[in-house]
Amino acid sequence: MTCDPRHIRIDDYDYTLPEERIARYPVPGRDGSKLLVYRQGEVFHRPFTDLPELLPADSLMVFNNTKVIQARLHFRKDTGALIEIFCLEPHLPREYQQNFDSRGQCEWVCLVGNRKKWKQGALERVISRDGGDVTLRAEIVGPLQSGEVVRFTWDNPTLSFAEVLEAVGELPIPPYLNRDTEEQDKETYQTVYSKIEGSVAAPTAGLHFTERVFEALRQRGIVCDEITLHVGAGTFRPVKSEEMAGHEMHSEYIYVTRDSLQRLIDFQGRCTAVGTTSVRTLESLYYIGIKLLHQPDLTEDQLHVDQWEPYDTAALPTTCEALKAIVGWLDRNRLSALHTSTQIIIAPGYTYHVVERMVTNFHMPKSTLLLLVSAFIGNDWRRAYDYALSHGFRFLSYGDSSLLMP
């Protein structure tokens, strides 16, 4: 580690992104995008469909299989005021699947739009479902640092909360698209391999993948595996502090099976990560393993990776030793998967332990995601972004892609 990222000035990671370069819609055909390639200092571009031939044969590629939920709910008060409730993460039950399976009642940590117009009482909205009406109620239980705890109740106990969201929720597309969610976003803002509901933003590097690309990966002997990180709204939160020490990273839920951990070990703890969310999950595993090497009897909650933990951790075992420590912990506790959370920030000064290659889109100026890219390819991020801007690349969630190979 070469420096303490707490003293990084976010203004040093700025660039000019013209408004017209932000892709407001995807290109027709998911894999019809362009691919910038950064390979040991060399920068060039190819069609995205060439990705498989650019990767080492018989290697491992890891995807985030999270699915975006219809997290925006709108209620209208008797006064006519429109209140938006944006579900961020489950509060009661805390576990995602249990919460989605809840019947009649559950609680979420939410952002509330037009909060000053909703001072007290419950909001109600009638949903038409299977030929009958269901009344959905929302009331604020109390404040949290990250938002408000909102209790949802509905008067049809045969409906799960997942079905309620499906009936009444709206898919939350990024605010910088400056448009309302459209019907087509329900398909185009999900990866074709999305499975596990819980994100409020898509892992957008995966939006380019199609069955044609997966078939080409298989032909190269590339093994595709999946982990889960549920992307929080904090992914869009701008860095407002002058130095990174003043920025608090959002905490995100991760889920990794024992089989996936063993597969990583089989590939010597090295892989290609698709998207920054996969990167954050995979790199967090290393620090979870270090904890367990020192304290083998930690609980799941104690395995949470704090924001600055990588920069305050002295002991550096090999990646495989760290991963084997997690597998051993799962076996001792008779668990088939790791459920925990991470707040990790990856910034210049960070040493990568698991990720050898990265597929990622182009990120906002002065963002933590740009810091993550800079930690991977150094100050060459400027050369790569200058190339993308001068060669007509489209930026952000619905934009083009890059393959980074330091």
Q: What is the pLDDT of residues 268-316, one digit of tens each?
A: 999 999 999 999 999 999 999 999 999 999 999 999 999 999 999 887 8
pLDDT for residue 223: 98
Q: Are the CB atoms for 5 and 13 separated by under 8 Å?
A: no
pLDDT for 36-75, tens place per residue? Answer: 999 999 999 999 999 999 999 999 999 999 999 999 999 9
242-254: burial string, b at 16+ Cβ within 10 Å, e else = eebeebebbbbbb
pLDDT for 248-270, tens place per residue? Answer: 998 899 999 999 999 999 999 99
pLDDT for residue 128: 87
Q: Are the CB atoms for 177 and 397 separated by under 8 Å?
A: yes
Tokens of 156: 């049809």
What are the residues whose beta carbons fall under 8 Å from the beta carbon of 22, sequence distance 6 or more? Answer: 176, 177, 394, 395, 396, 399
Average pLDDT of the chain to the nearest whole number: 95
Q: How confident is residue 2, by pLDDT bands cut at 50, 70 and 90?
A: very low
Q: What is the mean pLDDT of residues 165-170?
A: 94
CA 232-237-239 angle, 5° bins? 140
pLDDT for residue 1: 42
pLDDT for 359-384, tens place per residue? Answer: 999 999 999 999 999 999 999 999 99
Q: What is the mean pLDDT of residues 163-169?
A: 94
Q: Distance of alpha carbon 309 from its chain centroid, rounded?
A: 19
* 89 closest CA partner among 111, 67, 61: 111
- 245: pLDDT strictly greater than 50: yes
Return d(Cα 155, Cα 158) in angstroms, integer.
Answer: 9
SS3 25: coil
Name the β-bridge partners of 105.
153
Q: Which domains does the chain have, with CATH numbers?
A: 5-67+187-405 (3.40.1780.10), 71-170 (2.40.10.240)
Q: What is the mean pLDDT of residues 200-219?
A: 97
Q: What is the mean pLDDT of residues 83-106?
A: 95
Q: What is the mean pLDDT of residues 211-237?
A: 92
Q: What is the mean pLDDT of residues 387-401?
A: 98
SS3 215: helix
* 396 closest CA partner among 5, 26, 3: 26
22 φ/ψ sector (left φ>0, alpha ψ -120 to 50, else beta): beta
- 131: pLDDT strictly greater than 90: no
Residue 128 class from Cβ within 10 Å (0-12 exposed, 13-18 middle, 19+ buried)? exposed
In degrees and rounded to multiples of 5, residue 253 shows phi and psi of -75, 135
Return d(Cα 72, Cα 87) in angstroms, integer.
Answer: 6
pLDDT for residue 88: 93
Tokens of 222: 């590339």
Q: Are the CB atoms for 165 and 74 separated by under 8 Å?
A: no
pLDDT for residue 236: 67
